[in-house]
C-alpha cells in the first residue's frame, strides 16, 4: 500500500496541487461564504488530477504492477483524502487567525471548529459520490464531478440557510467565543468520524465498481 501511495505522489499528483490549500487565506475575508475557500480544491485539484490520471493512462500502468485492483483504488482514495486533510489543516490555521481578527463573526456560518467539521463532511460527501462513479469507467470524469459538486453545493447551502434561519442550528454551529467550543468540538469530532466513514464506504463502493471494469 505504501508503494502505491508513493506512486500517487510521485507520478499522479503534481506538488502544485498542495498549493490549493492556500485558498484557506480566503477565510480571512470578513463576511463571506467560507465553504467556498475549501471548495477550490474540488474545483481545481480534483478535475486536474483526474484528467491527468486519464491522459497519462495511469490505470493502464497500475494494473501492470503486482497489486490488486482494490489496492489501486484504496491508494487513490487515501492520497486524495490526505490532500483534503491538508486543506483542512491549513484552513484551521486561518480559522484561528480569523477568530482573532474578526471577533464579530460572520453573517453566514462563522470560521470556527464547527465550520471545519462541516467542511470534512463536505469532502466526505464529495468522495462518496465522485469516486464510486469515476471507478465505473476510470475515464469518465464530467458527470461524476457535476453530481458530486451539486451534492456539495446543496449540503453547504443547506447549512448556511439553517445557520441564518434556525436559531437552534446557529446556536450549535455559529459563534467564535470560547464558550461556543462546547457545541463545536462535538461537531468537529462528528465531522472527522463522518469523513472517515464516508471514505471507507467510498473505497468499498469504488473497489466493487472497479473490479467489474474490463481493462
Name the residue nearer to other proteins (CB basis): 11 or 181: 11
What crossing angle do the helices spanning 69-101 and 181-212 adopt, rounded to 10°? 160
Residue 10 found at the interface with other proteins (CB under 8 A): yes
Residue 66 found at the interface with other proteins (CB under 8 A): yes
Q: Are 128 and 198 in contact (CB under 8 A)?
A: yes
Sign of CA dihedral 154, 160, 163, 165: negative
Residue 200 has a CB neighbour count (10 Å cut-off) of 14
Residue 61 found at the interface with other proteins (CB under 8 A): yes
Name the residue nearer to other proteins (CB basis): 10 or 100: 10
Residue 215 found at the interface with other proteins (CB under 8 A): yes
Q: Are 73 and 207 in contact (CB under 8 A)?
A: yes
User: How many residues in the shown chain lie near other proteins by CB under 8 A?
Assistant: 19
Name the residue nearer to other proteins (CB basis): 59 or 119: 59
Residue 212 found at the interface with other proteins (CB under 8 A): yes
From residue 68 to residue 97, what is the string marking binding to other proteins with x (rule CB under 8 A)? Answer: x-----------------------------
Nearest to 71 by CA among 212, 213, 210: 210
Residue 63 found at the interface with other proteins (CB under 8 A): yes
Residue 60 has a CB neighbour count (10 Å cut-off) of 10
Q: Are 162 and 169 in contact (CB under 8 A)?
A: yes
- Give residues in contact with other proteins (CB under 8 A): 3, 6-7, 10-11, 56-58, 60-61, 63-68, 212, 214-215
Amino acid at each position: 500500500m505504501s508503494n502505491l501511495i508513493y506512486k500517487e505522489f510521485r507520478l499522479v499528483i503534481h506538488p502544485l496541487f498542495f498549493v490549493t490549500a492556500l485558498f484557506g487565506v480566503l477565510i480571512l475575508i470578513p463576511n463571506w461564504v467560507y465553504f467556498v475557500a475549501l471548495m477550490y480544491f474540488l474545483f481545481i485539484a480534483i478535475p486536474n488530477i483526474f484528467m491527468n490520471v486519464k491522459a497519462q493512462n495511469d490505470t493502464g500502468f497500475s494494473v501492470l504492477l503486482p497489486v490488486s485492483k482494490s489496492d489501486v483504488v484504496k491508494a487513490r482514495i487515501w492520497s486524495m483524502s490526505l490532500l483534503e486533510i491538508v486543506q483542512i489543516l491549513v484552513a484551521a490555521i486561518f480559522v484561528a487567525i480569523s477568530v482573532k481578527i474578526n471577533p464579530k463573526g460572520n453573517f453566514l456560518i462563522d470560521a470556527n471548529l464547527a465550520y471545519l467539521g462541516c467542511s470534512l463532511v463536505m469532502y466526505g460527501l464529495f468522495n462518496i459520490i465522485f469516486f464510486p462513479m469515476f471507478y465505473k469507467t476510470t475515464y469518465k470524469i464530467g458527470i461524476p464531478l457535476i453530481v458530486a459538486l451539486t451534492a456539495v453545493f446543496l449540503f453547504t447551502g443547506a447549512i448556511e440557510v439553517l445557520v441564518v434561519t434556525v436559531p437552534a442550528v446557529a446556536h450549535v454551529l455559529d459563534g467564535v467565543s470560547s464558550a461556543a467550543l462546547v457545541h463545536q468540538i462535538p461537531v468537529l469530532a462528528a465531522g472527522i468520524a463522518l469523513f472517515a466513514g464516508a471514505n471507507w464506504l467510498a473505497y468499498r463502493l469504488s473497489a466493487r465498481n472497479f473490479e467489474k471494469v474490463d481493462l
